[in-house]
Amino acid sequence: MKKTLLVLAAALAATGLAQAQDTLAKVKESGSITMGVRESSGVLSYTLGGAKYVGYHIAICEKAIENIEKAVGKKLTVKYQPVTSQNRIPLVQNGTVDLECGSTTNNATRQKDVSFANTTFVEEVRMAVKASSPIKSVADLKDKTVATTTGTTSVQTLRKHKRAESVEFKEVFGKDHADSFLLVDSGRADVFVMDGSLLAGLIARSKNPADFKIVGEVLSVEPIAIMVRKDDEGLLKIVNATIAGMVKSGEINQLYDKWFLQPTPPTGAKVGLPMSDTLKDTLKNPNNRPMEDYAKKI
């Protein structure tokens, strides 16, 4: 009986691995590929309405899909699947999404469930408040209400920060980043803790950007990357080669400039976030190290 169970377990494991590594065959057979996209992840991934999605990570994924088409020898229909912080990993795992092109942090826990391409953006987690707020640092959060997005790790990061050890605050949850930002805008929360670029993007596209500001210490440095199914080496190879090619040609710098330093659709809002030295170094030395490795350096 024990031997039978071991054989069955091995067979199931092998089947799972085969499925995980078969994305290229899957898209070739189906003639379509599905991108996981976010509706309000700053300028990394957001919607213009309807089925139109744009952003820095969307553009990188679209470039990767061009190379996937070359690999499978056919033009693919690109489908866009909106994902949330809660469902993005399950939808990659179960095969609904082939490439998750949003704003997912690569960390050691998630690496057990999915695989990440090489890092294409490095975030610094900060706090957004109203311009009139007296909050300037983590120490000012005592008895305040902190907004975060369901399924993200930002408040966990905040609670682990050494300056927050004796600070008691209340949490409220938004269903997505736009909803979390609205909690601050409407006065239901005092602060929104999230990736700096997302905060900057939300502020830039708000009705009155001057009504908000980003404050406080850098709570963590997090590598953001495109996500695929676990051990999907064939797909990862193409995505990583695409990123390497864009770095070599300078296209990724042009793409960064387009989305972070120039006016963006639909309103012409400008994020105004220059490329960090950490991201410059990461692009020169490609890797998919988890955020725990970055934490050792700050």
pTM: 0.78
Give pLDDT, residue 253.
Answer: 98
For range 255-282, the mean pLDDT: 93
CATH tag, 22-122+223-295: 3.40.190.10
Q: Which two tokens stand for residue 102?
A: 């949003």
Are 60 and 243 in contact by the 8 Å Cβ rule? The answer is yes
In the chain, domain spans: 22-122+223-295, 124-222
Model confidence at 238: pLDDT above 50:
yes
Confidence of residue 228 (pLDDT cuts 50, 70, 90): very high
Are 185 and 254 in contact by the 8 Å Cβ rule? The answer is no
Look over the chain and give the mean of its residue pLDDT values, rounded to a whole number. Answer: 90
Q: Do domains 22-122+223-295 and 124-222 have the same CATH topology?
A: yes
Model confidence at 241: pLDDT above 80:
yes
For range 35-53, the mean pLDDT: 94
Phi-psi region of 231 (alpha: psi -120 to 50; beta: other; left: phi over 0): left
Q: What's the half-sphere exposure (Cβ side, CA atoms, 13 Å) at 21?
A: 9
Are 161 and 218 in contact by the 8 Å Cβ rule? The answer is no
Give pLDDT, residue 44.
Answer: 94
Q: Return the minimum-mean-pLDDT range out of 8-22, 141-155, 271-285.
A: 8-22
CATH tag, 124-222: 3.40.190.10
269 or 97: which leads in pLDDT? 97
Please name which of 199, 141, 147, 144 lies closest in space to residue 173, comparing C-alpha atoms.
Answer: 147
Give pLDDT, residue 161.
Answer: 78
For range 247-265, the mean pLDDT: 97
